[in-house]
Structure 1
């Protein structure tokens, strides 16, 4: 087919999933028409209007910026189906009832354009069966497109063809979903619950079975099945509450109804305790009670034996926790298999039965082991998929142990492991991942869109990632920076990466940045500041704390001056410096990004100047940058008064506000409207290199240092202080909060100068640096720094 252009999307169904799919399309600058039934009374679109309004109240937020709700139009099936003619992609997202879906298809089909794509967001109904309810002419443009909840944050979309689906259309839709919506795609077979839910729900059922068998508490199991084994913090039973116990029950029932020949079919039923909770309306988070419920600040958990709630403990046998935290994967599994502790037996059993299930069903449900592993990573948030985990644990030894348990009747099913398991030593290798159906290793998809992902999510055992060509580096593997290129992409655009943990900015990074930028100016055409998330968590506070403890404030003043020198080197380098930002860019990391010639941000970028949280103010040029923004905006305002443009910046810095998306980063002034927002984080480096190349080819040149910045001065400081007085009197801020916030106001307003005075950029840098060092000398700021280092949490003192 020709190039796929999607100018407008329609979503049929304004429930939880439909509304949030619409929200994510709006995040991607795609206008949406959201449909549902007409209201029984009042305005006909009231159902959808209420759903759109609810998007701004949910946490986590489906909208990357609340204003994006304006890109979603409300419509209903009775009076507005004509609006489907304007839509290039129509996504059905109503309840999982075959007859309801078919009735809706009959209504909508006459209004679809001959070239429009029609897709169902079903989580498990047969795509072939759904397609049978469509006119013949539409079937080639129909497929399943299964988003995971919440659609903004969960990477996975399963793409499922119907028998007549046009393969070229499917390729084009995959490319659009990847780049435009930022999704990670698994092509699923049309089997019940597809890939991720088929494996994920079985994993939950195995956990439930072994919880009961070993008499463990729900909270104990959640403590075991969360981060300790590479799963999300919500673990198993908290996740069930978040998803909704009724939804979980429906998926379990679907497996029971549609998989009668599955060797594990006897386990595809709701446990008695789950049925009891649903019967009394305790459906989880949405009803404020489920497996867990809150009583004030206390978290209670259901006790299966009594049927009542008790305080949640989450106890773990320390020996089990120690083994999980200290042993390598192979050692862990050997220890779990040999241990007599119930918690260890539980963990071995849930992994054994998961591996067993995946091996038996690989040929049926997935094209290769890669699809199962990536589906579980992207759809359920697992650090490693089941086959990766098995391979890391020692493929042959674990396979023998599983078969021994099957033979002894200890496994959940009697089905033997497939013969291929014993013929292989791994499933992921440099040549590809194993396909049980074709008995070969299959390489990754080769669609052109994936050329944009220079570093796709790597699986254990695959060919190692291309590390590029190192031009220069300093420090060791845990400090300093590395300047390198990808000659296969662009040999003259350098990539500058931090090597420290969480990409903290310490002395080695500062020194390395200055040297690397100087080298880039003479040897390269541009520089991209990039590394995997987080972008940077700010200054190395441990080094700051040690200098404070030694009373070396003169040394600290010099360090801050050098930090500012790096920011200005980024801004005024003789080649464009592009910041490629993903994840957290806090404090100094935010300041470096603000000084770049251009920013390319992943949508999920969390950017902020958070120094107030440790009793400090931005002093790496962040205060200066906001003062410059106010100056520039004031030049186009009546009266050219800068203070109105300082107010938001003051509140942002004083409250240590962090943007919750790249779009919010633009709103708050951490990024600019001209910056690029990339929906798929794995495309970030590719786009940033292309942007740096384009800037160089366009004759980019650095801005001149501004020597005449109009600042708010004393009157601006006094006005900010009035706000602080009211907050202090109301008990909202402490005395030290007041001191820190006044310092922030002073830096933003250019220091104690006349209002509307003109000063140079260096003047403002000197002001913010002096205030920063003075705050470092205070006991309360030093206490805040020490507390954050010790606990990871801010201190209010």
Structure 2
């Protein structure tokens, strides 16, 4: 990255839904933000509060929204607000100005005219437009402005959707483009894609085509809303919201706006007629059935006799009917197929209505995507990257095509009048049979001009397990894989359902540590699943408890505890690299690692209370230990105890890695946060290697943990009984709270005492097992297993 360009302060012009949330995401990464918007009509001069009402209300609304656009509420202090009339001169202090005002060219040009009066030469200026040609906005601006100007199209919500399209004009400096591509990926955690200044750029061009072609197919075949969402959700690697639920969330008017823009601005597109809005969609617009924002769209929810009733729109009659569960034979046959690649092959080969749907809509998409090169992008990987990051597709069009087999699929596409672009035939004739290959641990794409495979730019520093596991696997069992990631560091990944921790994962952890201690420098625990780990296998615990196999259950819990302690007390450094959910046992694993290198999007917590238990894999012990280490002379010790007690008792889950520090799951000064998930494993490896090379010393088990005994235990008992008296918790909650308080306080000790980790682990295990004998605990576990719902009985 250019040494002389540093981003310390950013101005965001426009505080609407996108602007306020872009501002929040820059604040997330430590940048100071100036957020500006228009002055309300009739706001008197000199009345700062009145003149900043629009921007302040917008920011306040954003900060209260769920999911939150900001990692930690205190980060909002990095955002200062103002208005265009009084505060535009302040952009002279900013390194980057981002325009996010209303989608009208004349208004944007007026804003840029004002920006040019005040911005410092050489600073970045970009537009977040999703539809207006970038070059038109730069017309009439100075050479320095045009050289440092381009499009920077974030997807909503900017914190969570990873796509950032960078769209230069012919005047944009290559150095600016390269800087933004790297900054977006490395610091904002985005998949940054270089796009051309064409209608809807890459993501929306392909995404909206996919939606519109599907709408026309539905109109022709009569598939229902529920059927389409069943077919286009997780079964094919798309988000749970699938097609119509996604439309309801985004807003039908938004989708139609982009489609109309494409119909008007891409007249030479061979599929232009597909961007015409179907009749039933126009009628929905007339009725103002736009989705969540108007209370109804393709779905609506109503209370009937106090119970939520869900309805789906009948696309023929435009009447709402009770939402129906649908089944397809093809989908039933793939329920146990974990691999998406294998699943797609089965689905596309099926001869039922589902197979017809997949072949018709996907072959059309494959052909369309191939013909957009080089119109919207020169390289095919950019189209896949945009769909992965902007629409949450696990596989983009070319990746799905690869999974099905390019050559065979081309023949089927021809038979269905969906002939792909000529370059696809040229590729096959050259001997290349796939769009991607993996060589030397790097993923390479087929480069059309050179007819050769090239490494995807910007990925050189990534370590991705999916690219190296096939060649670097050291050991594996049914639930875990140990991979050599180079420089003497091993990685342990688990791949059970939801990455839950059972016997196979426990075996994998112990084997990984044994191997690392015998001939390696260190161990990283990370994986590339949707979540790091949803915790211990509660189904196994439930079965043992129901069968009253308590000796066996005791042995299982002890083995879990011993394994967590082995993570802590091995002779090599162990680094955990969690992402997304790290709950229960997954959290306990991180608590015992020497260091945690966490992805910023980390939802971490000890959640056992929700199933009628306390943390039994060393989590309660670890909170007692950390409480002891935090106690300072003069502290009101019971206050510190209360905080730790409530974190577990309320099953608090962090909404980001930064909040995990606040809850005490991560340690300040030891653990670190990485915003780019693609860099997570490489960063974890770096820290692990550094610890080894700095002369890692095997720790000694603790015997000096200060516990508070009766004074803290009394607080736990009184607090629980008070909550029960106020009808805030149930009688069973009181029992769990008392067990938790007993372990955290070190038992019924007459005075504060020093105890060992093994003493606390014994207390923890005894409490855990005793709760497993409780009928109400088993009812709670059963509720989670059968319906995924927390039962408060």
State the partner residue of 1:572.
569
Alignment partners' CA distance in 1, 2:741 and 2:277: 59
Which residue of 210, 214, 225 maps to 2:232?
225
Deviations 1:383-428 (A, max 9, x none): 211122223223334323333333xxxx7xxxx5433334424333
Greater shift after overlay, 210-219 or 593-602? 210-219
Query: CA offset at residue 97 of structure 1?
Result: 1.3
State the partner residue of 2:660.
665
Alignment partners' CA distance in 2, 1:214 and 1:549: 49
Which residue of 419, 424, 429 maps to 2:422?
419
Query: CA offset at residue 207 of structure 1?
Result: 1.2
Alignment partners' CA distance in 2, 1:692 and 1:151: 31
Deviations 1:451-471 (A, max 9, x none): 331118x6xxxxx53556555
Which residue of 434, 452, 473 maps to 2:461?
452
Which residue of 58, 63, 80 maps to 2:87?
80
State the partner residue of 1:678.
674
Query: CA offset at residue 251 of structure 1?
Result: 0.6
Deviations 1:737-765 (A, max 9, x none): 22112211221122111253333333222
State the partner residue of 1:216.
223
Query: CA offset at residue 786 of structure 1?
Result: 4.0
- Are 2:16 and 1:20 equivalent residues in the alignment? no
Alpha carbons 1:480, 1:512 under 8 Å: kept: yes
Query: What does 1:699-778 align with in structure 2 at a 5 Å threshold?
Result: 699-701=695-697, 704-778=700-774
Alignment partners' CA distance in 1, 2:23 and 2:725: 44
Alignment partners' CA distance in 2, 1:112 and 1:284: 40
State the partner residue of 1:5.
6
Alpha carbons 1:131, 1:139 under 8 Å: kept: yes
Alignment partners' CA distance in 2, 1:480 and 1:397: 34
Which secondary structure does the structure 1 equivalent of 2:523 belong to? strand
Query: CA offset at residue 260 of structure 1?
Result: 1.3
Gaps of 5+ in 1: 459-463
Alpha carbons 2:492, 2:508 under 8 Å: kept: no
Which residue of 276, 281, 301 maps to 2:312?
301
Query: What does 1:377-416 align with in structure 2 at a 5 Å threshold?
Result: 377-406=388-417
Q: 1:330 to 1:597 in 2, by over 3 A?
A: closer
Alignment partners' CA distance in 2, 1:381 and 1:568: 37
State the partner residue of 2:478.
478
Query: CA offset at residue 362 of structure 1?
Result: 2.4
Alignment partners' CA distance in 2, 1:389 and 1:315: 24
Alpha carbons 1:183, 1:680 under 8 Å: kept: yes
Alpha carbons 1:468, 1:486 under 8 Å: kept: no
Which secondary structure does the structure 1 equivalent of 2:532 belong to? coil
Which residue of 643, 652, 663 maps to 2:647?
652
Alignment partners' CA distance in 1, 2:222 and 2:152: 39
Which residue of 317, 334, 349 maps to 2:349?
334
State the partner residue of 1:553.
550
Query: CA offset at residue 6 of structure 1?
Result: 0.8
Greater shift after overlay, 739-748 or 35-44? 35-44
Greater shift after overlay, 264-273 or 515-524? 515-524
Query: CA offset at residue 704 of structure 1?
Result: 4.7
Which residue of 298, 302, 306 maps to 1:291?
298
Deviations 1:740-793 (A, max 9, x none): 122112211221112533333332222112111111222332343344344444
Which secondary structure does the structure 1 equivalent of 2:621 belong to? helix
Q: 1:626 to 1:103 in 2, by over 3 A?
A: same
Alignment partners' CA distance in 2, 1:749 and 1:383: 46
Which secondary structure does the structure 1 equivalent of 2:536 belong to? coil
Alpha carbons 1:4, 1:173 under 8 Å: kept: no
State the partner residue of 1:461.
none
Alignment partners' CA distance in 1, 2:472 and 2:625: 38
State the partner residue of 2:332.
322
Deviations 1:582-637 (A, max 9, x none): 1222212211211222111001111111111222111222112222222233215x
Which secondary structure does the structure 2 equivalent of 1:548 belong to? helix
Alpha carbons 1:630, 1:643 under 8 Å: kept: no
CA RMSD of aligned residues (A): 2.5
Q: 1:313 to 1:749 in 2, by over 3 A?
A: same
Query: What does 1:172-251 align with in structure 2 at a 5 Å threshold?
Result: 172-251=179-258
Gaps of 5+ in 2: 44-48
Alpha carbons 1:526, 1:696 under 8 Å: kept: yes
Which secondary structure does the structure 2 equivalent of 1:9 belong to? strand
Q: 1:719 to 1:133 in 2, by over 3 A?
A: farther
Alignment partners' CA distance in 1, 2:773 and 2:613: 10
Query: CA offset at residue 441 of structure 1?
Result: 3.8
State the partner residue of 1:170.
177
Q: 1:239 to 1:510 in 2, by over 3 A?
A: closer
Q: 1:551 to 1:628 in 2, by over 3 A?
A: same
How many residues in Structure 1 have an aligned counterpart in Structure 2? 766
Greater shift after overlay, 506-515 or 641-650? 506-515
Which secondary structure does the structure 2 equivalent of 1:687 belong to? helix
Query: CA offset at residue 543 of structure 1?
Result: 3.6
Alignment partners' CA distance in 1, 2:699 and 2:632: 18
Alignment partners' CA distance in 2, 1:737 and 1:304: 48
- Are 2:504 and 1:505 equivalent residues in the alignment? no
Which secondary structure does the structure 2 equivalent of 1:710 belong to? strand
Greater shift after overlay, 601-610 or 350-359? 350-359
Which secondary structure does the structure 1 equivalent of 2:555 belong to? helix
State the partner residue of 1:359.
370
Q: 1:183 to 1:430 in 2, by over 3 A?
A: same
Which secondary structure does the structure 2 equivalent of 1:363 belong to? coil
- Are 2:159 and 1:147 equivalent residues in the alignment? no
Q: 1:405 to 1:677 in 2, by over 3 A?
A: same
Q: 1:246 to 1:498 in 2, by over 3 A?
A: closer
Which secondary structure does the structure 1 equivalent of 2:576 belong to? strand
State the partner residue of 2:128.
121
Alignment partners' CA distance in 2, 1:55 and 1:585: 26
Alignment partners' CA distance in 2, 1:360 and 1:706: 65
Greater shift after overlay, 552-561 or 107-116? 552-561
Alpha carbons 2:624, 2:745 under 8 Å: kept: yes
Which secondary structure does the structure 1 equivalent of 2:51 belong to? coil
Deviations 1:148-167 (A, max 9, x none): 11111111111111101111
Query: CA offset at residue 643 of structure 1?
Result: 1.4
Query: CA offset at residue 93 of structure 1?
Result: 1.4
Query: CA offset at residue 481 of structure 1?
Result: 5.7
Greater shift after overlay, 150-159 or 731-740? 731-740
Alignment partners' CA distance in 1, 2:243 and 2:532: 30
Alpha carbons 2:17, 2:62 under 8 Å: kept: no
Query: What does 1:520-669 align with in structure 2 at a 5 Å threshold?
Result: 520-521=516-517, 523-533=519-529, 534-636=531-633, 638=634, 640-669=635-664
Q: 1:512 to 1:440 in 2, by over 3 A?
A: closer
Which secondary structure does the structure 2 equivalent of 1:234 belong to? coil
Query: CA offset at residue 208 of structure 1?
Result: 1.1
Alignment partners' CA distance in 2, 1:670 and 1:680: 21
Alignment partners' CA distance in 2, 1:536 and 1:697: 29
State the partner residue of 2:692.
696
Deviations 1:483-512 (A, max 9, x none): x4323xx22x33333454443333344344
Q: 1:707 to 1:189 in 2, by over 3 A?
A: same
State the partner residue of 2:46.
none
Alignment partners' CA distance in 2, 1:264 and 1:124: 18
State the partner residue of 1:433.
445
- Are 2:285 and 1:278 equivalent residues in the alignment? yes
Alignment partners' CA distance in 1, 2:645 and 2:186: 36
Alignment partners' CA distance in 1, 2:397 and 2:167: 22
Alpha carbons 2:98, 2:128 under 8 Å: kept: yes
Deviations 1:56-86 (A, max 9, x none): 3212221122222221111211111122122
Alignment partners' CA distance in 2, 1:100 and 1:32: 22
Which secondary structure does the structure 2 equivalent of 1:48 belong to? helix
Alignment partners' CA distance in 1, 2:761 and 2:424: 64
